[in-house]
Structure 1
Amino acid sequence: MPTSQPTQLTPFGYALAGALGGCFSNAVVYPLDVAKTRIQAATSASLNGSEKDKEKLSVVAVLLRILKEEGIPGYYRGFTATMINTFSMQYAYFFFYSFVRTSYIKRLAARLPAGVKAPPLSTAAELILGAVAGALAQIFTIPVSVIATRQQIGPSLDRRASRAGSRVRRDGEDIEKTAGKETDGYDDSFLGIAREIIEEEGPGGLWLGLRPGLVLTVNPAITYGAYERVKSVLVLAQEAAGRGSKLSPWTAFLVGALSKTLATVVTYPYIMAKVRIQARSADTEEAVAEHQPAPPKHAYHHAHSKHVGALGILARVWRQEGFLGWYQGMGAQITKAVLSQALLFMSKDQFESWALAIMVLCWRLGRAKA
């Protein structure tokens, strides 16, 4: 417990502020998150390939279908797991990013003569520090991400991956229409999904998509690197014009939106591949292509060798749909990601103030008990 009242945020404080802001921004746009996950998980095996079927993958069409088939609760499938994942991921990322960045700046400053201010970090340094923080956060939080993805997809697609034959059509009837019959007794709770993953794949199944997840650490790195770079330029311009050193909420919103759009466009193919790995829709498509049954339940020791990797998914999509196939659902991803990220940046200062208030409250409670 600090001997004096906290006056500025520690790495833990920044992590708490980032986690709270991340939960808030993602909760606001959560129905879009469910829609974009289902679009990304859809493979050619689950579609006829016709233009009519492809139109079903638009954001509006998916949202309307969820409303018709599942009602309003369908928009919030996996909400609890996603919020846990968002909080833990944002907390871990902001903590590691703040800790690594602060340590790096201190070491850099220690090498300079006394009284000389350390120069701003280069874009390359920001990207590297962000990637390191993202990798550490991914390792600790990806199990919750896997569970959240399975819940958002729902039982129809998830079950399809674990049923022999993995047939998308049967007796001329759409699998979506029979999903309810096939999934009687399906436990889609957080613990139910976790238990099923472990039964089917072993504990390692909770880390499905870790490799592409590590590659995707460059996404927040690009986002925050670009944001910090643009922000520093704008702040210098504002200071030179005598308008203060803080960005207005709307300026922060726009800079955050542009930064996230850039990061999403660069990394989107791997984002799509990661979702298909975690949902196991890629394994289903592989089984359909080879006319073989998907890995059976309770046989996880066989299943590990049959998972399709990110590069395999991208290669198949390239053969079947070309370059544009790599960007299936990117509109939904950008809309959701940009809105949530921009809201996060716009509310970042407010949540930092709240985090500091929480730290002060904890300090006072600790002093009172002492």
Structure 2
Amino acid sequence: MAVQSKPVQKLTPFGAALAGALGGCFSTAVVYPLDVAKTRIQALPADARGKGKEQLSMFPVLLKILKKEGISGLYRGFGATMLNTFSMQYAYFFFYSFVRSSYINRITRKLPPGSEIPALSTAAELLLGAVAGALAQIFTIPVSVIATRQQVGKTQKSKTTEPVETSPDSGESSDEENDDSFLGVAREIIEEEGVTGLWLGIKPGLVLTVNPAITYGAFERIKSVLLAAKNAGSNSKLSPWTSFVIGALSKTAATVVTYPYIMAKVRIQARTADTEDAAEHHWKKPHAHEYHHNKHKHVGALDILARVWKHEGPLGWYQGMQAQITKAVLSQALLFMSKEQFEHWALAIMVLWARISHRS
């Protein structure tokens, strides 16, 4: 085992990114039905959120989806979400590994030869994580927008789009509305919003880069404290169970801090916020030409938070947080627990690819 551990520690940024992406897909796939439920809870419009606790509780929502849509409803948008998870995790781990190793190399050059590398400060870990998260968001958010629309489903989606006048003799509109495939949703978004519609929620998304930054920063900090208490070296490994517990605690802290923006981002991408804004200002509905001119304007995250505070109070910012924490904590803890194993698999894939490339 000692022979295997050395190359794992020397994984390139590409290798670390592959390991993180594989682990992210595995952990997300395990808890995917919970992801669908939490997205629908977060995307609920204000009138639906006031109809009872069953609308905001994960298991009643899961049962409702299962009853109305069957097993397939619990896996709506699975392909897009897996693509989003792989690309997001790959991009994040690649940028995080690259930025962190570059920063550590810069520190190492200033140290006397043979001296031990000091542990990074919490502020440094958060900053490096935020930079990596921001770069990953910019490249991967279009897939996230499509996945969110698919998870919300046809019913919610139809409520969040402006009605379009069609000829009674034409059946094209209903056919297009029924196209819930990845490309179909992407085409619909581009037709309604333009290409920039694929980047809906980019601003709160950039703010939310502090979420993985807090998660990984807290994980690395707690890990270093535990290893120091055991007089173990910085290259020592935690047990899977310890990694699971630390990962769960780290993700819980990050989710509590950032949840209001998580909720706002989902409502922007699902266009629930636009529906609520139109309902509030129904007395001054725009004419067709005015709507065409303004259709690319969307309610911002701060406007959503202000409206929720006004109508529901501060607790409204955290409606559905139980579902978010349950899904996020389980997924993140599974990722931390299995990360080392996926590093071994990533190394094996890279070695196999190198051999195939060498032979060809």
**Aligned twin of 2:249:** 258
Provide closer, same or farther for how the CA distance between residues 245 and 114 of structure 1 changes in structure 2, counting only shifts above 3 A.
Answer: closer
Partners of 1:202 and 1:300 within 8 A in 2: no
How far apart in 2 are the matches of 1:324 and 1:30?
Answer: 26
Is the alpha carbon distance of 1:81 and 1:257 closer, same or farther for their aligned partners in structure 2, counting shifts above 3 Å?
same
The unaligned stretches of length 5 or more in structure 1 are 1-5, 166-180
8 Å CA contact retained: 2:48, 2:55:
no
Name the residue aligned to 2:3.
none
Q: Which residue of 2 aligns with 1:175?
A: none
What residue number does 2:47 align with? 45
Measure how far apart 1:210 and its partner are.
0.1
How far apart are the structure 2 equivalents of 1:250 and 1:163?
Answer: 49
Aligned twin of 2:167: none
Q: What is aligned with 1:169?
A: none
Q: 2:192: which partner in 1? A: 200
Q: Which residue of 1 aligns with 2:217?
A: 225
Residue by residue over 1:266-295, the C-alpha shift from the partner in whole angstroms, topping out at 9 and shown as x without a partner, is 000000000000000000011111115599
Q: 1:296 to 1:14 in 2, by over 3 A?
A: farther
1:296 deviates by 7.4
| Corresponding residue number in structure 1 for 2:58 | 59
Question: Residues 281-320 of structure 1, C-alpha deviation per residue, up to 9 Å, x if partnerless?
Answer: 00001111111559979x7652122x10000000000000
Change (3 A) 1:198 1:255: same
Matched residue type, 2:63: L
- CA deviation after TM superposition for structure 1 residue 246, in Å: 1.7
Cα distance in 1, alignment partners of residues 161 and 240 from structure 2: 47
Matches of 1:318 and 1:70, distance apart in 2: 33
Match of 1:269?
260
How many angstroms apart in 2 are the aligned matches of 1:217 and 1:317? 23
RMSD: 2.3
- Range with greater deviation from structure 2 (347-356 or 185-194): 185-194
Deviation at 1:367, TM superposition (A): 2.1
SS in 2 for 1:162: coil
Structure 1 residue 105 displacement after superposition? 0.4
Give, in angstroms, the shift of residue 238 of structure 1.
Answer: 2.6
Task: For 1:116-195, list aligned pairs within 5 A.
Answer: 116-164=115-163, 185-195=177-187
Q: Following TM superposition, by how much is the alpha carbon of 1:157 offset from its aligned partner in structure 2, in angstroms? A: 1.2
1:322 is matched with which residue: 294, 304, 313? 313
Partner of 1:176: none
Letter in 2 for 1:197: I
The answer to whether the aligner puts 1:359 opposite 2:350 as a matched pair is yes
| Contact 2:255-2:325 within 8 A present in 1 as well | yes
Q: Deviations along 1:86-136, whole A, 9 cap, x unmatched?
A: 000000000000000000000111122222222111000000000000000
The AA in structure 2 aligned to 1:188 is D
Go from structure 1 to structure 2 and tell me whether the alpha carbon gap of 1:293 and 1:194 turns closer, same or farther (over 3 Å shift).
farther
Residue 168 of structure 1 corresponds to none
Deviation at 1:362, TM superposition (A): 1.1
- TM-score between both structures, scaled by the size of structure 2: 0.90
Task: Tell me which residue corresponds to 2:67.
Answer: 68
Shift of 1:182: 7.8
Work out whether 1:94 is the aligned partner of 2:86. no
Residues 38-61 of structure 1: per-residue CA shift (max 9 Å, x gap): 0001121335x34xx343221111
Question: CA separation in 2, counterparts of 1:295 and 1:147?
Answer: 29
CA 1:317–1:215 in structure 2 vs 1: closer, same or farther (change >3 Å)?
same
Cα offset for 1:185? Answer: 4.8
| Paired AA for residue 289 in structure 1 | E
Distance 1:134 1:15 in 2: 13
Partner Cα separation in structure 1 for residue 154 and residue 94 of structure 2: 35
* Identical-residue share of aligned pairs (%): 71
Equivalent position to 1:312, from 292, 303, 311: 303
How many residues were matched structurally?
A: 343
Per the alignment, in what secondary structure is the counterpart of residue 239 of structure 1?
coil
Q: Which runs of 5+ in 2 are unaligned?
A: 1-5, 165-172
* Structure 1 residues 163-192: Cα deviation after superposition (integer angstroms, max 9, x where no partner): 349xxxxxxxxxxxxxxx988852110000
Question: Which residue type is aligned with residue 27 of structure 1?
Answer: A
Q: TM-score, normalised by structure 1?
A: 0.88
Aligned to 1:350: 341
Q: 1:31 aligns with which of 30, 33, 36?
A: 33
For residues 363 and 100 of structure 1, do their structure 2 counterparts lie closer, same or farther at Cα, with a shift above 3 Å needed?
Answer: same
Structure 1 contact 164–296 (Cα < 8 Å) conserved: no
Show the counterpart of 2:169: none
Whether the 8 Å CA contact 1:18–1:94 is kept in 2: the answer is: yes
**Structure-1 separation of matches of 2:71 and 2:345:** 31
Paired residue for 2:331, among 340, 344, 350? Answer: 340
Q: Helix, strand or coil for the counterpart of 1:154? A: helix
Return the letter of the residue paired with 2:348: A
- Alpha-carbon separation, structure 2, partners of 1:75 and 1:304: 31
